[in-house]
Structure 1
Amino acid sequence: MLQNSFQEQLEDCPVIAAARDREGLARCCQSESGIVFILFGDVCTISEIVDHVKSAGKLAFVHMDLVNGLSSREISVDYIRKETNADGIISTKQPQIRRGKELGLYTVHRFFVIDSAAYENVEKCTKAIRPDCVELMPGVMPKVIRQMAETLSVPVIAGGLISDKEDIIAALDAGAASISTTKEELWFL
């Protein structure tokens, strides 16, 4: 059911609102996006932040690597599952993605594609870990997005350095299922 909901949200509104702070969070919750990527917080506030997103009727995804006080170990995913109502997690770390899947959370494996070795790693890790979705960064590389979208068996999200409508269109035309951005003006296109 969670996967259908996420897939439906990607199809209905392919721009994912991402928040780096409380002000951004408030605006995310007012956006048209049905999904919010939470890119801030700490162990004392993350449950409240997730609840704020959920009360706005949106799916909440916690970026594990950006929550202060969480370690890079799998137990941090257990904490998010037990102490919050998050729908999913985002991480660059394979063990966290694996644990999120085990716990029934939706998983977005984030990759920084900076060279050919990183590019090859995306396919290898995706086959081994099987995240529900991958996020490629930076999101302004249509040729790479196209190749990954054709190669991978999971949806691709383009994120990072998305600055205008043309970047969104280029990423979507290249095969991205969605884009993620903290730029508020892009949430309402």
Structure 2
Amino acid sequence: MNLKESLVENPVIAAISSDEDLEKVLYSNAAIVFILYGDIINISKVCARLKEKGKIVFIHIDLIEGLRGDSAGVKYIKEYANPDGIISTKASNIKCGNHLGLYTIQRIFIIDSLSLKTGIKNIRETKPTAVEVMPGIATKIISFLEKEVNSFIIAGGLIKEKKDVMDSLAAGALAISTTEKKLWEL
């Protein structure tokens, strides 16, 4: 699988945070899914159900209950859940995921110029496959970041309308992630 091609062909990523969302996304047009919930007991089943439907699966490992946010946790997720990749805000998890051959998405929250500067520094050091910029409606930041780092940009957070999707993509994001179910069908 070539992640960049998959993102270009499927720019709306379903971000699921409940079993109800899981049931809906299984039969949606969304080809890429971010799992934002679960625990060490059920995460492999959630991932397996998505993979059975041919979905490309990323697990936000910082949000999995009972899992420590360290290299053992990343190894556990790879071995027992077998996703295509991981999402994390932690540089150490991104480095570990890269080492294990997983696609990695570093999630960064941009709230001011210092967090932007720190985010760019971390991205250059960890070399994630992609970067998820939050909030995703910050098109000026997306445009700037897209020129500064050598990773794909995914916009996430507060994306509620089709216009938000179009604005983020126009600013340089390769894809967007959203919990807004109506956008999963775009």
Fold shared by both chains (TM-score > 0.5): yes
Partner AA of 1:60 in structure 2: V
Distance 1:67 1:28 in 2: 19
Distance 1:30 1:37 in 2: 15
1:102 to 79, 99, 102: 99
Q: In 2, are the aligned partners of 1:156 and 1:175 still within 8 Å (CA)?
A: yes
Q: CA deviation at 1:121?
A: 1.3
- 3-state SS of paired residue (1:43): coil
Distance 2:150 2:98 in 1: 16
Flag as ranges the 4+ runs of structure 1 deviating above 3 A.
none
Q: CA deviation at 1:7?
A: 1.7
- 1:28 to 2:25 alignment: yes
Q: CA deviation at 1:31?
A: 1.9
Q: In 2, are the aligned partners of 1:111 and 1:134 still within 8 Å (CA)?
A: yes
Distance 2:114 2:61 in 1: 24
Size of the aligned set, in residue pairs, is 186
- Structure 1 equivalent of residue 127 of structure 2: 130
- 1:115 to 2:103 alignment: no
- 1:151 to 2:148 alignment: yes
Q: In 2, are the aligned partners of 1:53 and 1:60 still within 8 Å (CA)?
A: yes
> Where does structure 1 lack aligned partners over 5 or more consecutive residues?
none
Q: CA deviation at 1:73?
A: 1.3
Q: In 1, are the aligned partners of 2:107 and 2:134 still within 8 Å (CA)?
A: yes
- Structure 2 equivalent of residue 88 of structure 1: 85
- When the two structures are superposed, what TM-score results if normalisation uses the length of structure 2? 0.98
